[in-house]
Structure 1
């Protein structure tokens, strides 16, 4: 990862143009600050977290005409608001919005309000393996209809937000896979299941986190939800020494720990069911295996610690 921080308009234009494509930047706040965290995964895909105190960027007709790539920008608006304009249309963005535009065509980004942050995937259109007209339609819409609320968008941006150490070709392939699934699923066409093992594993992990408190959730249901066999489901987790059941159990225990801290007047049985466990005995056994004490004793230790601190 390359981290660059600047405090001037000229320097920021140089940083953005170097990490992405040449742009004209303007509309800076009086006391501008910009930070770029950029990771190149391979020649066809990179990821960046961009934080600024407010600016705008113009990819002019002349600059776009001289483009040497067919890259897309898939951008998650993390904070503040703005406008993305391209192809004669525009889309307002706010936290949770996901925008899609091409770097070999003119576009304008109005990110002038302060407190801006975008998480951006830059990826070659050709490397996604999607039908050309599907990608054209996605660019024409400019914004993903459901934004961050769409599971496929959460899968992509949660993955790139916590990239594993080392920019390997496999990681780049996973990002492309998740990006293609996000675009494809936004049209309700084709398979919405990642083809790579890493991509599928991450999608399942996100699904388990989101649905951990659903009573009776089992691995057969998870496999059906992702259109894979139970064998395939377990296989992608065995590659990293885990099982989907252990991931679900760990997430439920994490929720239970929070409830034990934040809801001290609730019963242990209530905590067990709220966290997704089917019965108190299963919860207590799983909790003791991890923490070495029962949920009741664990909560008592927190309470005693607070009393001593007071």
Structure 2
């Protein structure tokens, strides 16, 4: 991981051009600050978290025509508002919006308001393995229709969000696998926006991440079982367990851990609720199963954990 900070226009232009492609930056606030957290997984894909107090960037026609790559930017606006202009069109963006534009074509980014943050996946179009016409249509739209509300988009950017902090891409084979998963999730997001494909990743790592996100969102649903999870992802139960076993776990264990995490939060936030209420709200079917699982996870009963929760958070 590379972390770069800038406090001047010239420095920021150097930072952005070094991590992405050469750009002309302008529209700086008087007390400008910028921070770039950048992870390059291979020559054709990278992830960057960009935080600024407001600026604009221009990929001029001259700069675009000198590009030696076919990269696109898939950009999630975390706290940003502004306008993206490319290919003769414009798209207004706000938190949760996702834009896509090519680096070998001119574009203009107006992020001149304060408190801007984008999570950006830069990836070679060729490496995505998608039909050229589909990519052209995507770039013509500029903005993904449902933004981060789309499950496929959430899967991509939740996976990407974990990479800058601590460089979870790793080295060697692990980094290659991470790059493959990220490409897979990016391609799924684009296909899904056209209603193409099942919306299910093809790589084991991508499928595992998609299932984990599904389990997080549905952890407290009563009666959720692995047969239902497998059906929701168009795989067999055997395949579902296989992709988790490759990483040393199981989907059932992951679900139980998520439910216990919810229970621990509720024990702290709902001090007057009964332990039985906590158990059912967290997705457990009975108090005995909940208490046993909680003791295995935390080394104490839910009641004991609640009694000392204020000491841990204080």
How many angstroms apart in 2 are the aligned matches of 1:140 and 1:213?
A: 40
Matches within 5 A, 1:66-215: 66-163=66-163, 164-167=168-171, 168-215=175-222
How many angstroms apart in 1 are the aligned matches of 2:36 and 2:46?
A: 12
Report how many residues are paired: 306
Tell me which of 191, 203, 228 is aligned to 2:235. Answer: 228
Matches within 5 A, 1:46-57: 46-57=46-57
- 191-200 or 243-252, which moves further after superposition? 191-200
Tell me which of 259, 268, 271 is aligned to 1:264. Answer: 271
- Unpaired segments ≥5 residues, structure 1: none
Contact 2:41 2:169 in 1 (8 A): no
Q: Secondary structure at the match of 2:22?
A: coil
Q: CA deviation at 1:11?
A: 1.2
Q: Secondary structure at the match of 1:257?
A: helix
Tell me whether 1:280 sits opposite 2:287 in the alignment: yes
Q: CA deviation at 1:82?
A: 1.0
Contact 2:4 2:37 in 1 (8 A): yes
Q: CA deviation at 1:144?
A: 1.0
Q: Which residue of 1 aligns with 2:11?
A: 11
Q: CA deviation at 1:302?
A: 3.0
How many angstroms apart in 2 are the aligned matches of 1:161 and 1:67?
A: 27
Q: Secondary structure at the match of 2:217?
A: helix
Q: Deviations over 1:128-159 (max 9, x none)?
A: 01111111111111111111111111111111
- Unpaired segments ≥5 residues, structure 2: none
How many angstroms apart in 2 are the aligned matches of 1:140 and 1:281?
A: 56
Q: Secondary structure at the match of 2:182?
A: helix
Contact 2:152 2:192 in 1 (8 A): yes
Q: Secondary structure at the match of 1:99?
A: strand
Tell me which of 284, 288, 303 is aligned to 1:296. Answer: 303
How many angstroms apart in 2 are the aligned matches of 1:139 and 1:53?
A: 27
How many angstroms apart in 2 are the aligned matches of 1:110 and 1:165?
A: 31
Q: Which residue of 2 aligns with 1:61?
A: 61
Matches within 5 A, 1:26-37: 26-37=26-37
Q: Deviations over 1:209-264 (max 9, x none)?
A: 01101111100111111111111110111112110000000000000000000001
C-alpha RMSD over aligned residues = 1.3
Q: CA deviation at 1:84?
A: 0.7
Structure 1 stretches of at least 4 aligned residues deviating more than 2 Å after TM superposition: 300-303
How many angstroms apart in 2 are the aligned matches of 1:302 and 1:171?
A: 36
How many angstroms apart in 1 are the aligned matches of 2:21 and 2:109?
A: 13
Tell me whether 1:253 sits opposite 2:260 in the alignment: yes
Contact 2:80 2:118 in 1 (8 A): no
Q: CA deviation at 1:165?
A: 4.5
Q: Secondary structure at the match of 2:263?
A: helix
